[in-house]
């Protein structure tokens, strides 16, 4: 279609109405998704994408278009943090997809209400919505699904040259490779159109070989110049994968290295997640996975309208406003093959988050829904009596409005990520601690993403070194690093400050660290000290520290008691400003305790000022007082920091026991606290 024709349409009354509706759908969906999106920093894949959008890194399968446009977005939209901008970037693409869906279905059926109905169903779809609130490439992929179908149909209707949709298809492959499953549908449409262009209504004579030879002789597709144009249209956008070579190796999240090119960029790793089974298994995957998911996305009403739309096109009975020049049956086969090819991949692709990979299957089916709505609208509009006609059309429109309302009400709670800020909160607390210079932070890649964001994006604590390690046995051998257990032991024994993002007992590969060293919780990290993990009972040696005679008892107003048997400062009694220390306490309950008490450890200077405080249940939350057995001795390790600017002198370590439920502070020897130990601090 010539540009002047587009301009003339846009200035017409119908064009202005369509553009107004598209703008309203865009703004409405943008507002909804922005309201429910994650507000900032995230962990895992989402956090990795936030970082690599900023630093133009390489993630997973490359995604060059997603990252290049994302970087441009963060430069042009100066709202909030980089993480917030990355989240809004995805909201933008999803809102654009909603508007584009309306525009495409309206163009296809010339039915304004069919376009609105399909756009609203996609707006409330759980899976599309779930990807619109976190920074991943799937909403941009949804837009490419709409655009690819639209431009190929536009070509088939004689409005654009074939190079245009092929270029769009090639460009879509630079965002997400699942678009490759549209290739069979594209090939069939092109060959069908070319066959008709070669033979027209004339029935070719001869056997299959003769027909093929004549076809190949007469087709314009294989003319050298034409073939070169088509190949260039597809290959030129693929050159964007040069981004991977340009940006080189990435050390963010799931690291990319050149040896991973086949697995990551070419998709070789996908084969590890393929699962195959007998015919009944495949049938069950379709009937128990795909069809229920499809119905869930667009409600039974939308699913039924989709089946009707499929039938109408298959029977060559499209809606009255069907776009001229586009054969209905060819449109049926194109949409069907595009959806089925992607569905076949998803059926055998065995991953926990498979639903988002179904989007290129869900959205083409939604086009059938739009056709079905237009067909029903034509039936109702043909009613002889005007009052009955308008009543029927009104009820029909309200039914889809109700279906959309149902989707919004059902999916809102599950897709409301507006309060999802745990990663930022936790790591703000971690990085607010006076972690030692050149300390080593160790954990699985997902848990270290916020630290990478702080280092790369915010420019904080560049001195901290991070080690990614494997904490699950099944992941060993899948990445260049492993548990690095022996290296960690060497660093700890050399006295280097080492912090873990997860306790070794909660891993499968680092459990030996919990047997060899002492762990103390600081913030949401675990500080590892080169002292024995366990010691002898209180009073039987220096490893357990001093012993109080008699034991110091903390009692509440109901007479429930816990006794502090001993305390020791590790690794030594004398520290310097900026050092980390550990206070080990040993508790005993004369009788079972029917309450959950918390401990507050406070470091006080000579002027009674609190320079450090941490509150927790005993044993870093692992041993609640409610589970103590009578006379059992519980070891309770507390990490603390001496502030880097602390003045030299004596500092007291004060222990307070309280009931968080009631706020009552337990009394110990006439007071609500006990100074369990003293540490001498020297200048830094």
Placement of tokens 């009937």 in the chain = 287
> Hey, is 289 helix, strand or coil?
helix
In terms of CATH, what superfamily is 542-682?
abc- transporter (atp binding component) like domain (2.70.50.60)
Q: Considering just the CA atoms, what is the radius of gyration of the chain in Å?
A: 33
Task: Say which residue, 360 or 221, is predicted with more confidence.
Answer: 360
Report cis status (omega within 30 of 0) of the bond before 599: no
DSSP for 20-61 reads HHHHHHHHHHHHHHHHHS--S---HHHHHHHHHHHHT--BTT
Whether residue 186 contacts residue 331, with contact meaning beta carbons closer than 8 Å, is answered with no
C-alpha 603/C-alpha 641 separation (Å) is 9
Of 154, 117, 122, 156, the closest CA to residue 139 belongs to 122
C-alpha 265/C-alpha 256 separation (Å) is 9
Whether residue 58 contacts residue 249, with contact meaning beta carbons closer than 8 Å, is answered with yes
Q: What is the pLDDT of residue 245?
A: 85
Which CA distances in Å does 436 have to 100, 596, 684?
A: 53, 33, 12
In which element (H, E) is residue 294 found? Answer: helix 291-314
pLDDT tens-digit profile of 519-571? Answer: 888 889 999 998 887 765 443 334 444 455 567 899 999 889 999 988 888 88
The number of residues making up the chain comes to: 684
Whether residue 119 contacts residue 25, with contact meaning beta carbons closer than 8 Å, is answered with yes
Residue 287 DSSP one-character state: I
Lowest mean pLDDT among 10-24, 98-112, 354-368: 10-24
In which element (H, E) is residue 566 found? Answer: strand 561-570
Q: What is the pLDDT of residue 240?
A: 93
Q: What is the pLDDT of residue 541?
A: 38
C-alpha 15/C-alpha 25 separation (Å) is 15
Q: What is the pLDDT of residue 195?
A: 84
pLDDT at residue 268 is higher than 70: no
pLDDT tens-digit profile of 471-508? Answer: 998 888 777 788 899 999 999 999 899 999 999 999 98
Q: What is the pLDDT of residue 542?
A: 41
Which residues are CB-contacts of 118 (< 8 A; sequence separation ≥ 6)?
Answer: 101, 102, 105, 366, 367, 369, 370, 373
pLDDT band at 605 (very low <50, low <70, confident <90, very high): very high
C-alpha 614/C-alpha 521 separation (Å) is 9
- ∠ Cα 38 479 252 (to 5°): 40
C-alpha 472/C-alpha 485 separation (Å) is 13
C-alpha 109/C-alpha 103 separation (Å) is 10
Whether residue 653 contacts residue 601, with contact meaning beta carbons closer than 8 Å, is answered with yes
Residue ranges of domains in the chain? 3-415, 422-529, 542-682
pLDDT tens-digit profile of 51-107? Answer: 999 999 888 888 999 999 999 999 999 889 999 999 999 999 999 999 999 999 999
Hey, what are 452's tokens? 């990478």
Side-chain-facing half-sphere of 423: CA atoms under 13 Å: 24
Beta bridge partners of 587: 564, 634
C-alpha 561/C-alpha 550 separation (Å) is 14
Lowest mean pLDDT among 14-28, 241-255, 363-377, 557-571: 241-255
C-alpha 415/C-alpha 134 separation (Å) is 10
pLDDT at residue 190 is higher than 80: yes
pLDDT band at 2 (very low <50, low <70, confident <90, very high): low
By the 10 Å C-beta count (0-12 exposed, 13-18 middle, 19+ buried), 347 is classed as buried
C-alpha 534/C-alpha 517 separation (Å) is 8
pLDDT at residue 24 is higher than 70: yes
Whether residue 113 contacts residue 105, with contact meaning beta carbons closer than 8 Å, is answered with no
Q: What is the pLDDT of residue 13?
A: 74
C-alpha 382/C-alpha 478 separation (Å) is 63
pLDDT at residue 116 is higher than 90: yes
C-alpha 115/C-alpha 14 separation (Å) is 13
C-alpha 557/C-alpha 560 separation (Å) is 8
Which CA distances in Å does 253 have to 51, 259, 474, 509?
A: 9, 17, 18, 19
C-alpha 546/C-alpha 585 separation (Å) is 10
pLDDT tens-digit profile of 365-407? Answer: 999 999 999 999 999 988 867 788 888 888 988 999 999 999 9
- How high does pLDDT run on average in the chain? 89
Whether residue 552 contacts residue 563, with contact meaning beta carbons closer than 8 Å, is answered with yes
Task: Say which residue, 600 or 619, is predicted with more confidence.
Answer: 600
Residue 114 DSSP one-character state: H
Q: What is the pLDDT of residue 197?
A: 84
Q: What is the pLDDT of residue 538?
A: 42
By the 10 Å C-beta count (0-12 exposed, 13-18 middle, 19+ buried), 681 is classed as buried
């Amino acid at each position: 279609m010539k540009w002047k024709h587009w301009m003339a349409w846009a200035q017409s009354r119908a064009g202005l109405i369509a553009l107004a509706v598209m703008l309203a759908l865009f703004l409405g969906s943008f507002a909804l998704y922005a309201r429910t999106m994650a507000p900032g920093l995230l962990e895992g894949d989402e956090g990795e994408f936030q970082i690599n959008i900023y630093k133009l890194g390489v993630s997973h399968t490359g995604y060059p278009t997603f990252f290049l446009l994302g970087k441009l977005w963060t430069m042009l939209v100066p709202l909030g943090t980089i993480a917030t901008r990355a989240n809004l970037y995805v909201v933008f693409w999803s809102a654009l997809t909603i508007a584009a869906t309306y525009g495409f279905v309206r163009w296809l059926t010339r039915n304004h209400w069919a376009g609105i109905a399909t756009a609203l169903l996609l707006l409330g779809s759980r899976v599309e919505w779930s990807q619109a609130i976190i920074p991943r490439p799937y909403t941009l992929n949804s837009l490419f699904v709409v655009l690819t179908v639209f431009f190929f149909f536009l070509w088939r209707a004689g409005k654009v040259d074939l190079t245009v949709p092929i270029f769009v298809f090639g460009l879509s492959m630079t965002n997400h490779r699942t678009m490759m499953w549209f290739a069979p549908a594209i090939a069939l449409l092109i060959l069908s159109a070319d066959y008709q262009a070669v033979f027209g209504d004339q029935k070719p004579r001869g056997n299959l070989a003769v027909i093929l030879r004549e076809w190949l002789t007469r087709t314009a597709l294989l003319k050298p110049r034409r073939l070169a144009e088509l190949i260039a249209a597809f290959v030129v956008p693929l050159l964007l994968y040069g981004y991977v070579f340009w940006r080189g190796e990435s050390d963010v999240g799931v690291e990319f290295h050149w040896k991973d090119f086949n697995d990551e960029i070419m998709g070789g790793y996908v084969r590890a997640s393929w699962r195959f089974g007998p015919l009944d298994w495949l049938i069950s995957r379709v009937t128990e996975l795909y069809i229920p998911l499809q119905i869930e996305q667009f409600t039974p009403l939308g699913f039924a309208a989709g089946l009707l739309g499929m039938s109408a096109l298959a029977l060559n009975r499209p809606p009255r406003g069907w776009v001229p020049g586009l054969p209905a049956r060819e449109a049926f086969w194109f949409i069907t093959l595009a959806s089925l090819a992607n569905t076949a991949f998803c059926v055998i692709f065995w991953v926990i988050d498979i639903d988002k990979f179904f989007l290129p299957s869900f959205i083409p089916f939604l086009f059938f829904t739009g056709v079905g709505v237009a067909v029903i609208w034509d039936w109702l509009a043909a009613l002889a009596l005007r009052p009955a006609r308008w009543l029927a059309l009104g009820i029909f429109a309200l039914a889809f409005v109700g279906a959309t309302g149902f989707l919004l009400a059902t999916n809102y709670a599950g897709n409301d990520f507006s309060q999802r800020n745990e990663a930022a909160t936790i790591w703000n607390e971690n990085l607010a601690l006076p972690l030692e210079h050149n300390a080593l932070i160790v954990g699985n890649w997902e848990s270290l993403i916020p630290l990478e964001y702080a280092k790369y994006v915010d420019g904080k604590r560049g001195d901290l070194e991070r080690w990614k390690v494997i904490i699950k046995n099944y992941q060993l051998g899948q990445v260049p690093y492993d548990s690095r257990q022996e290296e960690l032991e060497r660093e700890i024994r050399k006295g280097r400050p080492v912090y873990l993002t997860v306790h070794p007992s909660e891993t499968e590969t680092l459990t030996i660290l919990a047997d060899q060293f002492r762990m103390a919780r600081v913030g949401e990290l675990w500080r590892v000290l080169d002292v024995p993990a366990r010691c002898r009972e209180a009073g039987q040696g220096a490893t357990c520290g001093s012993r109080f005679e008699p034991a110091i008892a903390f009692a509440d107003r109901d007479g429930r008691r816990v006794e502090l048997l001993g305390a020791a400062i590790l690794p030594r009694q004398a520290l310097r400003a900026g050092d980390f220390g550990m206070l080990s306490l040993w508790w005993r309950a004369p009788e079972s305790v029917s309450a959950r008490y918390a401990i507050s450890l406070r470091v006080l200077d000579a002027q009674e000022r609190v320079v450090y405080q941490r509150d927790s249940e005993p044993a870093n939350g692992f041993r609640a007082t409610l589970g103590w057995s009578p006379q059992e001795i519980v070891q309770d390790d507390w990490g603390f920091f001496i502030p880097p600017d602390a003045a030299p002198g004596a500092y007291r370590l004060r222990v307070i026991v309280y009931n968080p439920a009631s706020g009552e502070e337990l009394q110990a020897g006439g007071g609500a606290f006990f100074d369990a130990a003293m540490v001498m601090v020297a200048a830094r």
